[in-house]
């Protein structure tokens, strides 16, 4: 099939094929894309086409295959989206878990407030302000080892409090 023959087929059948696709897909906006795919497949197979009946029947076979491919892809995409949504819902904390997380956060904040002055300041700088040990040491004019020791001791105190609270949630 040469370009002139392809143009003739396109001009003769494109409108009726497009109408058929729109009807099959309930006026889906993808009808234009499927029409393009139909004629792209026809062009790509132009060298090997063997038509046993009519070009119209051959063309509508391509149309049906393109529609079926589109419907399968849409169905697969829909299931993928449903699966992703389900995973997101399952990963979201449930109301009672959200309450527990808030409670633990408040207990943690309270435990942080109960730390001695400099220890609290170092702990807050590290965990809330996200400063490095080196930055904290420089700002407070302390050795890095002192900062590390204070962080370690603060962590132990907070963990002890949180372990006591953990027993309440069991």
Nearest CA among 32, 92, 99, 90 for reference residue 66: 32
List CB contacts of 14: < 8 A, sequence separation 6 or more: 35, 39
Rounded CA-CA distance 123/167 in Å is: 25
Shared-domain flag, residues 149 and 78: no
Rounded CA-CA distance 102/167 in Å is: 16
Place of tokens 């109301």: 95
Shared-domain flag, residues 114 and 76: no
Shared-domain flag, residues 135 and 67: no
Rounded CA-CA distance 51/69 in Å is: 22
Would you state the pLDDT for residue 88? 57
Nearest CA among 39, 72, 73, 71 for reference residue 58: 39
List CB contacts of 34: < 8 A, sequence separation 6 or more: 21, 25, 63, 66, 67, 70
Would you state the pLDDT for residue 97? 67
pTM, full prediction? 0.45
CATH code, domain carrying 112:
1.10.10.10
| Structural domain for 103, as ranges | 95-169
Would you state the pLDDT for residue 145? 95
Would you state the pLDDT for residue 140? 93
The H-or-E segment that residue 63 falls in is helix 55-91
Do residues 149 and 98 make contact, with C-beta atoms less than 8 angstroms apart? Answer: no
Rounded CA-CA distance 59/62 in Å is: 5
Residue finishing a domain among 71, 91, 111 = 91
Per-residue pLDDT of the chain in tens (170 residues, 90 and over written 9): 788 888 898 999 999 999 999 988 887 788 888 999 999 988 998 888 887 778 888 888 899 999 888 888 777 665 555 555 555 555 665 666 667 777 777 888 888 888 999 999 999 898 888 889 999 999 999 999 999 999 999 988 888 877 776 665 55
Shared-domain flag, residues 23 and 71: yes
């Amino acid at each position: 099939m040469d370009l002139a023959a392809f143009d003739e087929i396109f001009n003769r059948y494109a409108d009726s094929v497009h109408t058929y696709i729109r009807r099959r897909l309930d006026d889906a906006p993808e009808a234009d894309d499927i029409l393009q795919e139909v004629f792209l497949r026809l062009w790509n197979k132009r060298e090997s086409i063997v038509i046993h009946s009519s070009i119209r029947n051959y063309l509508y076979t391509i149309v049906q295959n393109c529609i079926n491919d589109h419907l399968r892809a849409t169905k697969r995409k829909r299931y993928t989206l449903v699966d992703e949504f389900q995973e997101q819902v399952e990963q979201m904390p449930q109301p009672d878990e959200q309450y527990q997380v808030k409670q633990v956060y408040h207990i943690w904040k309270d435990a942080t407030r109960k730390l001695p002055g400099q220890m609290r300041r170092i702990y807050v700088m590290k965990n809330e302000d996200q400063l490095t040990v080196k930055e904290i040491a420089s700002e407070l004019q302390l050795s890095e080892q002192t900062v590390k020791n204070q962080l370690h001791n603060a962590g132990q105190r907070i963990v002890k409090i949180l372990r006591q609270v953990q027993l309440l949630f069991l």
